[in-house]
Amino acid sequence: MSTDSKTKATLLLLTVVFTFMAAGFLASPSARPTLQFNPLVDTNVLDTATVRRSYADLVRADEDLSDFDCYACHEKDKPPPLRFDENHKLIIPKEHVNIVMEHGRHDRNNNCYNCHNEQNLERFQSRDGRELKFADSTALCGSCHGPTYRDWEAGVHGRTSGYWNRSLGEYDRKKCVHCHDPHSPKFPGRKPAPGPHPLRGAEPEVAHVETKH
Amino acid sequence: MSASKTPPAANGVNRRSFLRTSAVLTTGLAALAASLKPLMEMQDFPTAEQFMQKYYKEMTPDDMAKVLKRIENEVEQQYGLRPHVRDYKPMDGVEFVYCLNLTRCIGCRKCVHACAAENNLSRNPEIQYIRVLKMPHGSLDMEKAEHHYDPPQVPEKDFFYMPVQCQQCKNPPCVKVCPVHATWQETDGITVIDYDWCIGCRYCEAACPYFARRFNWAKPQIPKERLNPEMSYLGNRPRRQGVMEKCHFCIQRTRQGKYPACLEVCPAGARKFGNILDPESEVSCILRTKRVFIQLKEEVGTSPRFFYYFDV
């Protein structure tokens, strides 16, 4: 076979291959591989609500406050006695089973009257002897947690939302109890929002409609 | 009959050469058509108006008003929703700084998705400005970092989480490499991109030590009902295919005095933002009183405006 005819044969072969490829590309949308699309991220993860709601929030939302109405069950001027087991662990009465006592290490803070006022159950008592309303719980927390309270006042600890520029709008500084359960203050964990995935949202047919225009 | 006996036509074209030429021509045209196919598929060819648009810094307020109108029309045409597009300018006496508390971050990734919703990030292909790195306690080794974690509950024991986004450097390498000046640092410290000026060369993506810049490989797709209509020119207006984008500290929020979206959604209060030139601001207080341990990759000399700190 001469070089000339070899060249011709190669050219012919290439022509055929390219023609088929061109035809393939022109008929493309159906020839493309289908891709796996993940569903859109649930809008619940965009929620800016705090982990908990404070007493003041419940009052504002006009919700059931029976939990805070101590003298519906307790008697006035008769402090309820506290009972402890043999390990000096507080026994939670069955009326308050929803309370988990995990405030402070080594069960050292297992006395209700460290914060609640035994003479008036609808008030708190702070370490420095002040009597505080339920809505003023932040001052109560601050009476023990000095450095954190100082940080919170400066906006360094906790959540602040709204306007960083205080001359342009309001800001909202969340209270301790918006994030911490006073009886079990460790910040709760949660399921993480979905991680990165390259294809998310649009259905494959939507993607096709978009590319045909 | 041999070829030598074929009488040559007057103009030098005989049956054989005609067939050969037409075969080559047909194949050539078919190949050309196939190679042009991607161009035919291309959407959003720039309009004359867009093509003739001036450089951002040379635009008069009148020019800008026209451009904003054009963008509003385009978005309305595409999404069936009239947006509110503005060009917010930096405020005097303001330099933004971001502080992130590594003791508090629980790695829940809410910031990632709040950012996508606020800034009209493409969902498909997915683009995200924030990456949350999971790293073992006691190390700050990026080699050990992972961002695909998906346990039933975060935070996991013995790990901490470190969200990384644009660090808004004082000495930004991405700005230096841009051949067309489509990205620059504003007076309030935000490094911005003019999406209408970007040529998509991706030099800035290569220059950034933090992988903060993202390229629109395909036309961004955002479901209509998830479009945020509050837009800004240098911020969250929808991007075209083939341009770069990145975190801009939610320019459309922060230049109106609001906190950025990632901060608003953080359940743990780990994110802090404000004006470093104001001694009373939260970020000033943090830099004064807290154990601010790093600017990420301090040694490369970018001097980020994004600080990581610890509580204790």
> Could A194 and B254 be called an inter-chain contact, meaning their C-beta atoms sit closer than 8 Å?
no
Which pLDDT score is estimated for B1?
A: 46
pLDDT in tens for each of the 213 residues of chain A?
Answer: 688 999 999 999 999 999 999 888 887 766 566 666 778 888 889 999 999 998 888 988 888 888 888 899 898 888 899 999 888 888 999 989 989 888 988 777 888 999 999 889 999 998 888 999 998 999 999 999 999 999 999 999 999 999 999 999 999 999 999 999 999 999 999 999 999 887 665 554 444 334 333
Predicted structure pTM score:
0.81
* Half-sphere exposure of residue B261: CA atoms within 13 angstroms, side-chain side: 27
Which pLDDT score is estimated for B168?
A: 96
Query: Between the CA of residue B191 and those of A88, A158, B228, B234, B263, what are the distances in Å?
Result: 59, 28, 22, 10, 19
**What distance in Å separates the CA atoms of residue B89 and residue B223, rounded to the nearest whole number?**
29
pLDDT at B253 over 80: yes
What's the complex ipTM?
A: 0.81
Which pLDDT score is estimated for B139?
A: 84
Contacts of A157 in chain B (CB under 8 A): 269, 311
The domain containing residue A164 runs over which residues? 51-179
Which pLDDT score is estimated for A33?
A: 63
**What distance in Å separates the CA atoms of residue A134 and residue A117, rounded to the nearest whole number?**
11
Residue B125 contacts A, CB cutoff 8 Å: yes
Which pLDDT score is estimated for A206?
A: 41
Contacts of A196 in chain B (CB under 8 A): 112, 126, 128, 131, 147-148
Q: What is the share, in percent, of chain B residues with pLDDT greater than 90?
A: 77
The answer to whether B304 touches B295, Cβ cutoff 8 Å, is: yes
Contacts of A48 in chain B (CB under 8 A): 114, 264-265
User: Best interface-test mutation with B: which of A164, A190, A197 has the largest number of B CBs within 10 A?
Assistant: A164
The answer to whether B49 touches B70, Cβ cutoff 8 Å, is: yes
Nearest Cα of chain B lies from the Cα of A57 at a distance, in angstroms, of 17
Q: What is the share, in percent, of chain B residues with pLDDT greater than 70?
A: 96
User: Best interface-test mutation with A: which of B119, B124, B148, B273 has the largest number of A CBs within 10 A?
Assistant: B124
pLDDT at B124 over 70: yes
Query: Between the CA of residue A172 and those of A50, B122, B257, B285, what are the distances in Å?
Result: 12, 31, 14, 18
Q: Which residue of B has its CA nearest to A11?
A: B24
Residue A169 domain flag: yes
Nearest Cα of chain B lies from the Cα of A58 at a distance, in angstroms, of 19
Short-list A149, A148, A119, A145, CA closest to A131: A119
Nearest Cα of chain B lies from the Cα of A11 at a distance, in angstroms, of 10
The single-letter DSSP state of residue A112 is G
Window 73-92 of B: residues touching A by CB (8 A cutoff) are 91
Residue A41 contacts B, CB cutoff 8 Å: yes
CA geometry: angle B137, B140, B143, nearest 5 deg:
105
The single-letter DSSP state of residue A102 is -
List pLDDT tens digits, range B1-17: 445 555 556 677 889 99
Which pLDDT score is estimated for A209?
A: 37
Average pLDDT over residues B124-145: 91
> Could A25 and B34 be called an inter-chain contact, meaning their C-beta atoms sit closer than 8 Å?
yes
Peptide bond into B46 cis (omega under 30): no
Window 9-48 of B: residues touching A by CB (8 A cutoff) are 23, 27, 30-31, 33-34, 37, 41, 43
pLDDT band at B28 (very low <50, low <70, confident <90, very high): very high
Residue A59 domain flag: yes
CA geometry: angle B223, A48, A151, nearest 5 deg:
145
Residue A36 domain flag: no
3-state secondary structure of B123: strand
Which pLDDT score is estimated for A205?
A: 42
Residue B236 contacts A, CB cutoff 8 Å: no
List pLDDT tens digits, range B282-307: 999 999 998 887 778 888 999 999 99
Q: Which residue segments constitute the domains of chain B, with CATH numbers given?
A: 108-248 (3.30.70.20)
Short-list B250, B243, B234, CA closest to B205: B243
> Could B37 and A28 be called an inter-chain contact, meaning their C-beta atoms sit closer than 8 Å?
yes
List pLDDT tens digits, range B149-206: 999 999 999 999 999 999 999 999 999 999 999 999 999 999 999 999 999 999 999 9
**Number of structural domains in chain A:** 1
Residue A188 domain flag: no
> Could B108 and A190 be called an inter-chain contact, meaning their C-beta atoms sit closer than 8 Å?
yes
Residue B258 contacts A, CB cutoff 8 Å: yes
The answer to whether A164 touches B91, Cβ cutoff 8 Å, is: no
Alpha helix ranges (H) inside A27-110: 28-31, 55-60
The single-letter DSSP state of residue B281 is S
> Could A200 and B123 be called an inter-chain contact, meaning their C-beta atoms sit closer than 8 Å?
yes
Which pLDDT score is estimated for A213?
A: 36
Nearest Cα of chain A lies from the Cα of B88 at a distance, in angstroms, of 15
Contacts of B112 in chain A (CB under 8 A): 193, 196
pLDDT at B232 over 50: yes
Which pLDDT score is estimated for A202?
A: 54
Residue A157 domain flag: yes
Residue A80 domain flag: yes
Q: Which residue of A has its CA nearest to B26?
A: A19
Residue B128 contacts A, CB cutoff 8 Å: yes
pLDDT at B129 over 50: yes
> Could A196 and B30 be called an inter-chain contact, meaning their C-beta atoms sit closer than 8 Å?
no
Which pLDDT score is estimated for B294?
A: 72
Residue A111 domain flag: yes
**What distance in Å separates the CA atoms of residue B115 and residue B214, rounded to the nearest whole number?**
14
> Could B151 and A192 be called an inter-chain contact, meaning their C-beta atoms sit closer than 8 Å?
yes
**What distance in Å separates the CA atoms of residue B114 and residue A46, rounded to the nearest whole number?**
5
> Could A198 and B125 be called an inter-chain contact, meaning their C-beta atoms sit closer than 8 Å?
yes
